Amino acid sequence: MAFPERFSNLPDYAFPRLRKLLDAHAPGGEPIAMTIGEPRHAMPDFVGPILATNLSGFGVYPPNDGTPELLAAISGWITRRYGVEITEDHLMVLNGTREGLFNAVVALCPETKGGKKPVVLMPNPFYQVYAVAALTVGAEPVYVPATAATGFLPDYGSLPKDILDRTALAFICSPANPQGAVASVDYLTDLLALAETHDFRVLADECYSEIWRDAPPPGLLQVTKAQGADPERALVFHSLSKRSNLPGLRSGFVAAGPECMSRIRKLRAFAGAPIPLPLQRVAEAAWADEAHVTASRALYHRKFADADRIFAGLQGYQAPAGGFFLWLPVEDGEQATMKLWRETGVRVLPGAYLSRDVGGDNPGKGYIRVALVATPEETQRGLTLLRDCIYR
C-alpha cells in the first residue's frame, strides 16, 4: 500500500519529540512546565455564564463563516485596535489560527508560478504549520534565517531574484514566535513593496499582538491601509487563545481582501470545521471586552521584569518586545534542555525543534524556548532555577 512522499521528511512535531527526549528520565525537582504556549492566566469571568445561557446552541449546526454578531465584534475590535474599518466580506471566523493558516495556503497557492514550482517563504525558526501547508500544496518551502543578525525577523529582500519571482506566499509572525521580535511599520511597508514587485501575498500571523511591553505592535492591516496597498496582498490572522487566555475555545479570524476571502470561504464550505454556536457567543463577548486583556497583560509585564532581573548581564539575552517566550542562548539546545530537566525539573523546548537545517546550519540549535505562561510566582521560580542550572 503506497503512502505520499511529500511528508516523508517531516520530523516529529515539537512536543512528541520533546517527550521522546525527556520522558525516560526522572525530573530533578518538582516539574515546572515552560514549554507550550498555553496561557494559564484566568480566562474571562463571562465565559461560564454565556455558555450556560447558550447551551441549546450545541443542538444546531453553527454558521460556517461566523455569526453576524461575532463578525461585527471582530470588525469593531479591528477598528479600535488598528484604525481600520473592515466589512464582513473581508472577514471569516476560524477554528483557531492554525486551521486558518493551513487552509489559506491550500486556497491561495497556485500550482505553478511563471511555469515553475511556487515558493512559500517563512522565517526560520517558525510555527510548524507554515511548512506543512506549503508541502501539502506541492510548493517549495524556503526557510529564511531569523537570527540576531537580522533582528530575529526574516530578511526576505535579501533573497535571490529567482526565488522571489517564484514566491506565491510569504509568512511573517509578529510578535515573533519564538523570539518576541516585533515587525516595525517600516519592515511591513518594505515587505508589502517587495510583495508588489514580485507579485506574492503576505500572510501575517499576529496571534501574539496583544501581549507587548512598551507599545502595541503595528499590524499589517493598518500598514496596508496607510500605504494604499492592494488589499489582496495582505492576509491577517488573529486568535483569542493568547489575547484572552482561551486556547480551548479554538476561536480566531482571518481578514483579507474580498477575492482572497471568497476563495478561503469556498474551501471552508467544503472542508472546514465551524465553531459551535455557544463558543461563538463567548467569542463575541471576548472581542468586545478589553478589561480582561489589560489585566492579563499586566501579569506578563511582571514576568518580563522578573526575567530582565534574573538574566541581567547574561550575554546574548534579549528582552522580548512582545509575545510570551524567552529565546535564551545556550551552547546546545537539546543538551541544555536535558540538563535542566534532570537537575531541576524545569521543562523547556530546544530551539532546534522549531527550526530546519539549511546549508548544514540550524538557527535554533543554540537556543531554548521558555514560555512565560504560568503564574508570576511559578515563572520566577522556574527562571531562577534555569539561570542557576544553565548559566552559573
pLDDT at 53: 98
Q: Are 37 and 327 in contact (CB under 8 A)?
A: no
pLDDT at 3: 82
- What are the beta bridge partners of residue 91? 255
Say how far apart CA 366 and CA 368 lie, in whole Å. 7
| Tens digit of each residue's pLDDT, the chain (392 residues) | 888 888 877 788 899 999 999 999 999 999 999 999 999 999 999 999 999 999 999 999 999 999 999 999 999 999 999 999 999 889 999 999 999 999 999 999 999 999 999 999 999 999 999 999 999 999 999 999 999 999 999 999 999 999 999 999 999 999 999 999 999 999 999 999 999 999 999 999 999 999 999 999 999 999 999 999 999 999 999 999 999 999 999 999 999 999 999 999 999 999 888 999 999 999 999 999 999 999 999 999 999 999 999 999 999 999 999 999 999 999 999 999 999 999 999 999 999 999 999 989 999 999 999 999 999 999 999 999 999 999 98
pLDDT at 1: 84
Q: What is the pLDDT of residues 202-254, one digit of tens each?
A: 999 999 999 999 999 999 999 999 999 999 999 999 999 999 999 999 999 99
pLDDT at 173: 98
The CATH classification number of 47-291 equals: 3.40.640.10
- Indicate the pairing of strand 349-350 with strand 367-371: antiparallel
Say how far apart CA 323 and CA 173 lie, in whole Å. 10
Q: Are 170 and 204 in contact (CB under 8 A)?
A: no
Say how far apart CA 341 and CA 6 lie, in whole Å. 34
CATH classification (class only), 14-42+293-390: alpha beta
Domain ranges of the chain: 14-42+293-390, 47-291
pLDDT at 300: 97
Say how far apart CA 351 and CA 253 lie, in whole Å. 28
Could you list the beta-strand ranges (E) of the chain: 32-33, 91-94, 119-124, 140-145, 167-173, 201-205, 234-239, 252-255, 325-329, 346-347, 349-350, 367-371
